[in-house]
Chains A and B, each alone.
Chain A
């Protein structure tokens, strides 16, 4: 969809009534669109072009791009910096904030800084333990947890003060999110935990990978029973599996990952496992769209980012709409022929 008040890249959109951010992502969700988000793996480099290159592969296929914050407890370019680079050219990033590496003083400062640089969406996370990453010798901070972080971010925005009570003169205008894992134990209590996040300030949720649709359906039923539909937008997490071996590895090594045996069997029986992985992903997306309360999908294609375009295209979830990207509305000189 195209907004008439489409801004100069890097400038905020006007804020609509009932919205808390001037961002496109919130607009798409509140307008009832089926949103598509993805994840950008921050580079191990100080070259901004490395960020732009990684963002461009999603052009025209996603509504927002998550900038991960030391995901898997591995060190990369910071989430705040990736977001600042992305907003410069108009992309809509979702800034991930993990509680693992920074205390409340640093985090509240980053929320203001991010918002000042045009970041409209922030995802509040607990973060993986340091043991999972490349610096297991580091000190884990965890001054906050994701729920108290949400509460603090919401206070900064709505009540315009820091946790200390000190005033904020211009509040960060942000759309706040959190993660949830419908596939992890304790399944029956996950929706309660989601309710807590919503009470603390979460307006959207991006789930971890859901390869087990039965679990996701059960989760969504409970979320509905708790009366949360309409209070929070839920984007289901998916991603292409490259091979049966990769899936097996992820299942054993990525915290909270649940991949049913049937999926692994299907992959190992395929001639082209990577293609089969994408097909499974597309089928999941199409099934997710039919689940009541699912407002979009979050496609995580680590190290296969270029496959996101194909997955979105083949799944048909955008239904012909073309999410904004820097060159979208530029005149298409390339299509001119000598005769015209």
Chain B
């Protein structure tokens, strides 16, 4: 929902901190997830993730979430799905070139990122081309698995 999405950006700090804790918890649960089988829990987790993040961020389930480096403003809501910053067409009032009634998601992203640790610097990370195969998959589980694996083999 658009209004909730804007609220989320205004509360980027809290959401960012909350997600940090949540992610740590997921990584703790890696053993359990592995026992259950990541493949088996993928669908239910993705369903929950879609509802929660859909509500908060209008999440599009790209499967490779970058909200922590976009000030909690989902870049997949940009009509051009830009993941590295705003296009040159942002309107003078800060609204989107393509959808004149929507704030440019990247303007929101800058405001959001000013509220989270790391600040706007967090946005300077290059986001490489998305893997379209991950569309619809759980980003939470992917991150959990990657972080757990990285921890297991330092």
Q: Footprint of B on A, CB under 8 Å? A: 99-100, 104, 126-129, 131-132, 140, 142-149, 151-152, 163, 179-181, 184-186, 189, 192-193, 195-196, 199-200, 208, 255-256, 258
Contact = CB atoms under 8 A, between A and B. Distances in A.
Given A145-B84, A180-B88, A199 B98 contact: no
B72 to A, nearest CB: 16
A193 B128 contact: no
Contacts of A127: 80
B92 A258 contact: yes
Counting chain A CB atoms within 10 Å of each CB, the highest count among B110, B120, B126 belongs to: B126
A104 B81 CA distance: 14
7 contacts: A127-B80, A128-B97, A129-B79, A147-B85, A186-B110, A200-B126, A255-B89
B106 A196 contact: no
- 3 smallest CB-CB distances across A and B, nearest first, come from A255-B89, A181-B88, A147-B84
Interface in B90-125: 90-92, 94, 97-98, 104, 106-107, 110, 120, 123-124
Nearest to B125: A196
Interface of B: 79-92, 94, 97-98, 104, 106-107, 110, 120, 123-124, 126-130, 132
Given A196-B124, A196-B126, A145 B81 contact: yes
A193 B86 contact: yes
A144 B129 contact: yes
B128 to A, nearest CB: 5
Contact of B128 (A148, A195, A256): A148
B129 A152 contact: yes
B84 A256 contact: no
Given A144-B129, A147-B85, A196-B126, 16 more contacts: A140-B79, A145-B80, A148-B84, A148-B127, A149-B129, A151-B128, A180-B88, A181-B88, A189-B120, A192-B85, A192-B124, A255-B88, A255-B91, A255-B97, A256-B90, A258-B92
A126 B83 contact: no
A258 B91 CA distance: 9
A131 B98 contact: yes
B79 A195 contact: no
A147 B81 contact: no
B129 A143 contact: yes
Counting chain A CB atoms within 10 Å of each CB, the highest count among B84, B97, B106, B126 belongs to: B84
A144 B131 CA distance: 10
B87 A126 contact: yes
Contact of B127 (A147, A186, A208, A258): A147
Given A185-B92, A192-B123, A193-B85, A129 B97 contact: yes
B89 A128 contact: yes
A151 B92 contact: no
A325 to B, nearest CB: 30
A199 B85 CA distance: 14
A148 to B, nearest CB: 4
A100 B86 CA distance: 15
B118 to A, nearest CB: 14
Contacts of A186: 86, 90, 94, 106-107, 110
A151 B126 contact: yes
A126 to B, nearest CB: 5
Contact of A185 (B90, B126, B128): B90
A264 to B, nearest CB: 15
Contacts of A99: 80
A143 B133 CA distance: 12
Contacts of A258: 92
B110 A189 contact: yes
A142 B80 contact: yes
B105 to A, nearest CB: 12
A125 B84 CA distance: 12
Contacts of A255: 87-89, 91, 97
Nearest to B96: A129
Nearest to B98: A129
A97 to B, nearest CB: 14
Nearest to A144: B129
Contacts of B123: 192
